[in-house]
Amino acid sequence: MNESISEKLKGQIYIDPRLDTGFKNLFASKAAIKDFLDGILQLQGEDRIKDLNYSFDHTLRFMVPREKKISLDAFATTESKRFLNIEMQKAEHNFFIDRTVLYKSFLIINGKQEMENTDEFKALSEEHKEYRRYEIPESISIWICDFELPQTKGNYIDEWAIYSRESLKNGNSETIFPKNKYIIVSLPRFNKTADEVKTPVDTWLYILKHARDGKELPHFGSDIVKDALERIRIDRLDNKTLTELEKEMIAQEEIDCRLAGAKIETRLEMVDAMFAKTNLTDEEISVISKIPLEEIQKRRAHR
């Protein structure tokens, strides 16, 4: 047992893999990343990923016209020339969808540049290069969100892509551009018990959601998962990692407090508007705003 474990971490078995340090440790092997990607992309048999390269905190920079940069939580390229990024999102914000599209734009441009920089592409004739001028490689963005997403309509995994409105009207739900895909996960909506977990992707989502519960987790018969759980065990961490983890937890607590405060302020502004513009009772306003009734009554009394 590591004697350097602080009070903040006492009672925990694993690092919270929703935090940066825990996420990196959980997926700190090619086998783990590959198992997760095969599962979430629903790849079977010969379609499964054979090999990949990956990195964490991968920075992409472009001049458009001034330098813009983004940092991907995890970036991977496969032997079949897929370009993927995996993002672990703790907090929601107003421009979440904008951010997913922006990150994907950078991912596509990076993939295009890397594709044209391969020996295979460079060996093509100038005529053939011109023919493939607008070709882009397959790119997939995976967003694991620790908050509710109304766009997913109650499901814990959704897929976003480019569709034809007219085709959808006629019952054809095939994407018109399968090389461009977003996979969106809403962790709060993943409610399977350990006994209900049957697939690799559900295994990883179960760990992401429950590692913070302070209980021993099953490895679901997978040596890859077993090794990953060992990597996030708190009593196996060195002092440097423990120190970094504690700092990250303190910073995250501060962010969570500020977000919670901002949400309450927004709801209180809504309460004031309902006071001024509606004839709703305090009880009805409490239900709508999710502010306790006694707080509503105090606020009305001090208007």
C-alpha span between 33 and 43 (Å, rounded): 13
Yes or no: say if 49 and 78 are a contact pair by the CB < 8 Å rule: yes
- pTM (2 decimals)? 0.79
Yes or no: say if 15 and 231 are a contact pair by the CB < 8 Å rule: no
| Sequence ranges of the domains in the chain | 7-237, 239-303
In tens, the pLDDT along 167-194 reads 999 999 999 999 999 999 999 999 999 9
| Percentage of the residues of the chain whose pLDDT score is greater than 90 | 59
Yes or no: say if 286 and 292 are a contact pair by the CB < 8 Å rule: yes
| Residue 259 confidence class, pLDDT cut points 50, 70, 90 | very low
Between 9 and 124, where is the model more confident?
124
Between 37 and 96, where is the model more confident?
37
For 103, counting Cβ atoms within 10 Å of its Cβ (0-12 exposed, 13-18 middle, 19+ buried), the class is buried
Whole-number pLDDT of residue 49: 94
CA distances from 291 to 200, 272, 288, 300 (A): 40, 12, 8, 13
Can you tell me the mean pLDDT for 233-241?
85
Whole-number pLDDT of residue 6: 61
Q: What is the DSSP letter of 45?
A: G
Look at residue 89 and tell me whether its pLDDT is greater than 80: yes
| Residue 154 confidence class, pLDDT cut points 50, 70, 90 | confident
Q: Which of 219, 185, 217 is nearest to 200 (CA)?
A: 219
Look at residue 263 and tell me whether its pLDDT is greater than 70: no
Can you tell me the mean pLDDT for 16-38?
94
Residue 208's identity, in one-letter code, is: L
Can you tell me the mean pLDDT for 46-66?
88
How many other CB atoms are found less than 10 A from the CB of residue 197?
18
Q: Which of 147, 168, 138 is nearest to 41 (CA)?
A: 138
C-alpha span between 240 and 246 (Å, rounded): 10
In tens, the pLDDT along 207-226 reads 999 999 999 999 999 999 99
In tens, the pLDDT along 102-111 reads 999 999 999 9
CA dihedral 222, 227, 228, 229 (to 10 degrees): 90
